[in-house]
Amino acid sequence: MNSVTIGGLNISGNVVLSPMAGVSHITYRGICRELGAAYAPTELVSARSIRYNGLEKSMQYLRIDPEREKITAIQLFGADPEDFTAAIGKIMEDPVLSKVDIIDINMGCPVPKVVKTGAGSALMNEPEAAAAIVRASKKALEGLGKKVPVTVKTRIGYNASDAGRPDFAKAVADAGCDMLCVHGRTRPQMYAGLCDRKAIALMREAVRGYDIPFFANGDVTDGPSAASLMADTGADGVMIGRAARGNPWIFASVTAFLEGRELPAEPSEQERKEMLIRELEGRCRYCDEDIAVREFRSVMPFYVKGIRGAAKLKVRLMSALTCEEIKEILEI
């Protein structure tokens, strides 16, 4: 089993679910862990909102299940170091959230709403501000007597012309970040175009002397693409985003490939439908059924992708309002 150590924390496996807003629900994260993800962070949560509105308002995104997930990670975004200090303070006052194993900081989000506040990928323009956030987060945790590693997830640049930002990687490593993950696209690329592995490798080399694990991210769809991304960038592991939507089995398959084991059988149509229902029912435990069904609309199509009659199924699933209706549509 490949393993990595993040700030003293031993992690079995090196294939991680990439945080995704609307996808990384607590239920789905537990399923990914069960099927071989080394860990599965929450989606991005605003440090400022936690600071000023308290935990309750963000709880639907922050929620973790230390028993099931084993290794838990909360991803925060923001621009002001004091927001992180305050947010971490509140997280550590909560009986469950205080058990979190990793605090991850989003320094890659390209969405204008986030960037215009100076957070997400905008931090790539301000390596000193990014470093200050890492330092403040580490200090807040240490001050509370918590040995919780602080990790950073970023991109290869803010501008279209950027081809890697080794200076940025060094700045956050110097500030004490315990793991760095780089998505091989610039901010304006969002999720389009090809991942630039050379640019990731440049950032990997920049932090080689820091003795922290480095993860690469972008376009992993199976074992061979994970192995070649690691080989081309010198990364210790990969994060998988879009290809994991409606496909938690990808973790078992990629992990088996990387470890040279026989690949598990592909899930059958029936198994995929049953997993869809399992995730949906899990989601219903945390909010009203109609809300869960509506929120799940962005994920359901991925579960039925490629199965017989998928196009018609998707249309019907999109207008369903209850779990019962969805079961009927899937004939489960």
Ligand X SMILES: Cc1cc2nc3c(=O)[nH]c(=O)nc-3n(C[C@H](O)[C@H](O)[C@H](O)COP(=O)(O)O)c2cc1C
Q: Which residues bind ligand X (CB under 6 A)?
A: 18-23, 43-44, 75, 106, 108-109, 153, 183, 191, 217-220, 240-243
Q: Which is nearer to ligand X, 254 or 330 (CB)?
A: 254
With beta carbons less than 8 A apart as the criterion, state whether 26 and 72 touch.
Answer: no
> Active site residue: 32, 109, 181, 284, which one?
109
Q: Look up 181 and say whether it is catalytic.
A: no
- Using H for helix, E for strand and C for coil, what is the string for the chain? CCEEEECCEEEECCEEECCCCCCCCHHHHHHHHHCCCCCCCCCEEEHHHHHHHCCHHHHHHHCCCHHHHCCCEEEEECCCHHHHHHHHHHHCCCCCHHHCCEEEEEECCCCHHHHCCCCHHHHHHCHHHHHHHHHHHHHHHHHCCCCCCEEEEEEEECCCCCCCCHHHHHHHHHCCCCEEEEEEEECCCCCCCCCCHHHHHHHHHHCHHHCCCEEEECCCCCHHHHHHHHHHHCCCEEEECHHHCCCCCHHHHHHHHHCCCCCCCCCCHHHHHHHHHHHHHHHHCCCCHHHHHHHHCCCHHHHHCCCCCHHHHHHHHHHCCCHHHHHHHHCC
CB of 225: closest distance to ligand X in angstroms? Answer: 9
With beta carbons less than 8 A apart as the criterion, state whether 220 and 230 touch.
Answer: no
Q: Which is nearer to ligand X, 218 or 267 (CB)?
A: 218
CB of 332: closest distance to ligand X in angstroms? Answer: 26
Q: Which is nearer to ligand X, 43 or 101 (CB)?
A: 43
CB of 324: closest distance to ligand X in angstroms? Answer: 27
CB of 213: closest distance to ligand X in angstroms? Answer: 17
Q: Which is nearer to ligand X, 11 or 329 (CB)?
A: 11
In the complex, residue closest to ligand X by CB? 241
Q: Which is nearer to ligand X, 37 or 240 (CB)?
A: 240
CB of 294: closest distance to ligand X in angstroms? Answer: 16
CB of 105: closest distance to ligand X in angstroms? Answer: 9
**Known catalytic residues?**
109
